[in-house]
Structure 1
Amino acid sequence: MTQSYRYISYRAEGALAILTLDLPEKLNGLSGPMQAEVRDVLARLQAQQQVRALIITGAGRAFSAGADLADILAQGDGQAQAEHTYRAMLEQSNPMIRELRASPVPIIAAVNGIAAGAGASLALAADIVVASESAGFLMPFIPRLGIVPDLGMTWMLPRLCGDARARGMLLLGDRIAARQAAEWGLIWACVADAELMDVARSLAARLAAMPRHATAELKASLDSATRSSLDEQLQYEADRQRELLAHSAFQEGLAAFLGKRAPVFP
């Protein structure tokens, strides 16, 4: 199945789907219309059962250079730019990140080039991030623009690589190479450029073979853990296991384990 869009491309291949940010002449800058199209894909995936894993990547030499600054400049003076950006964040950008994080379909970001600013936030909001050796992550918010990181960056980055590294990355704005990002725990893996999409597809195929509801359950569990004490989280896990152990997926997994075979989930 292929869906027609203007700023992204999207195609489904059985249980896998690939969303490509497709404005290479602007390094896939995250304009409002592009974000709306990403959200449309996420909404469609929420309402169907066939696609069970999504890969997000970028066309050309960048994953995404971040916010479309030309769009901000076109709004007029500084106050008009500020109000336009504020409304866009509340109405489009922030919902997009929430929907990525909450998607029942597991999402892999295949970072093929620079992921800067909001583009880095988009990549890191995925469930699994793999990057090519030539890729990198750049946080220009404070040293180059005098603004705070956004689209969840200040929430995600310390959780991924620790407070000291997060502060250094955000204050200094140095480009972090993909290999260093992997060593710091910022991403899952750094791979050779030529292998990026093959690795992403392989990971997506593994995710697609898992019970669909389990992905949503894991995301909800991790989200719960960010706002719970240990005792509260232990109770949460027990409550969820009480329901999930009776699910047909667990029964199939148990039978497969005892039968020494791979599970085939419904």
Structure 2
Amino acid sequence: MFQAIDYSCEGGVAVITLNRPDVMNALNTQMRAEILEAMKRAEAEARVIVLTGAGRAFCSGQDLGDGVAAAGLDLERVLRDEYEPMLKAIYESPLPVISAVNGPAAGAGANLALAADVVIASEAASFIQAFTRIGLMPDAGGTYWLPRQVGFARAMGLALFADKVSARQAADWGMIWEAVAEVDFAHHWQARAAHLANGPTAAYRAVKRSLREGYANDLSQQLELEAELQGGLGESHDFREGVLAFLEKRAPKFEGR
């Protein structure tokens, strides 16, 4: 079904693997369309989604050799028609989304990774806002994610200087959730994904909504939103199961509803 990516779903974990290793998984029109389609499929059959890369890189960014090549590339159209739907599908997914960054993530590839809810990176990975090196500015959501994750001063420096940031430094700055030793990386992100796949999916959905809307809400609005969302969760099967499991001193068996 897919050519530029691989897709699998097992145990409630959907894994979308960028699969153009010969070009470090550079994003072309086909890959963007396939990621969007895979996100829709995953939401219908999984409880957590993982984005990762094949080979030594996560994603090297926009494939400048795609189609009409750089000189004739209509970047405004590509960003609006191809990147925006893909990035929104990741960011707005009702399911938890993990970026398992196995290697270098550059340009739009770095910002694709940062669109996820949680970024887990191998210590072999790095992040670079490479845009100014070719006369561009960060896109693919980079000017949105970075100031929120690392603060304005660091976001500005990353955008202007296009310095490479190691996975460990990215974790220390709060750009990503954690950096993991390369030898442990695959086992670690798989365990993290399994944990979420067996968890209270409706609660995760509420967490995502409340934290993101909190950027725009004042305190009264946020307290009202918390009350609304928590009220719904308080009537769920998973809340009842969670309380019962706590009282019975056993692990809960969440159904994700």
TM bucket (normalised to shorter chain) is over 0.9
For the residues of structure 2 that align with 1:29 and 1:91, how far apart are their CA atoms? 18
Q: How does 1:1-266 map to 2 (within 5 A)?
A: 4-48=1-45, 51-71=46-66, 74=69, 77=71, 80-81=72-73, 84-142=74-132, 144-266=133-255
Tell me the CA shift for residue 46 of structure 1. 2.2
Moved over 4 A (4+): none
Letter in 1 for 2:245: A
State the aligned residue count. Answer: 255
Tell me the CA shift for residue 73 of structure 1. 5.1
CA contact (8 A) 1:129 1:188 kept: yes
* CA-atom RMSD in angstroms: 1.4
Report SS of the residue matched to 2:246: helix
Letter in 1 for 2:183: A
Tell me the CA shift for residue 35 of structure 1. 0.7
Report SS of the residue matched to 2:66: helix
CA contact (8 A) 2:11 2:197 kept: no
Tell me the CA shift for residue 14 of structure 1. 2.2
So what's the TM-score if we normalise by structure 2? 0.94
For the residues of structure 2 that align with 1:93 and 1:114, how far apart are their CA atoms? 20
CA contact (8 A) 1:102 1:216 kept: no
Percent identity reads 44
CA shift in 2, pair 1:10/1:202, >3 Å: same
For the residues of structure 1 that align with 2:217 and 2:102, how far apart are their CA atoms? 36
Report SS of the residue matched to 1:69: coil
1:13-48 deviations in Å (ceiling 9; x for gaps): 222222110001111011111011011111112223
For the residues of structure 2 that align with 1:117 and 1:73, how far apart are their CA atoms? 20
Tell me the CA shift for residue 72 of structure 1. 6.4
Structure 1 residues without counterparts, runs of 5 or longer: none
Report SS of the residue matched to 2:100: strand
Letter in 2 for 1:219: K
For the residues of structure 1 that align with 2:189 and 2:41, how far apart are their CA atoms? 21
Tell me the CA shift for residue 65 of structure 1. 0.4
So what's the TM-score if we normalise by structure 1? 0.91
Between stretches 250-259 and 172-181, larger displacement belongs to 250-259
